[in-house]
Amino acid sequence: MKRILSAAMFIMGALATKAQTTDTTKAKDPVFTSVEQVPVFPGGLQKLAILIHENFKYPKGDTIEGRVYVVFVVEKDGSLSDLKIAKSLSKATDTEALRLIKMTSPWQPGMRGGQPVRVQYALPINFKRSH
């Protein structure tokens, strides 16, 4: 039940970052943080939460609880790149959060002016032990 609650909190905590355009060294195309249509996981946030819930593995021996924020770029083709931890709890929880987000590729890309663009996106992953 608490895992389901964590998944629900994950859905509610999902957010796209809001800032200005940033160039990256990985690609010549700019990375947007504000677009007309944000990237979407196929099936929406509910399906994303289910995927994360079904594959979630609490790090062995770790008792820390809280939220890890993962920031990444959704590419024009829906693949994910530049995954980084924006807010950390521990190495073990960070590793698990990155593993979970990597599993979610591909996404439907963000759109700007009717064209797919690279978009920076952030997702929180909740770590709460079942008691």
CA dist., res. 79 & res. 109, Å (int): 8
Helix axes 44-55, 2-13, angle to 10 degrees: 140
pLDDT above 80 for 6: no
pLDDT in tens, 47-77: 999 999 999 998 887 788 999 999 999 999 9
Give pTM, 2 decimals. 0.77
CA distance linking residue 101 with residue 82, whole number of Å: 12
Angle at 126 between CA 125 and CA 131, to 5 degrees: 150
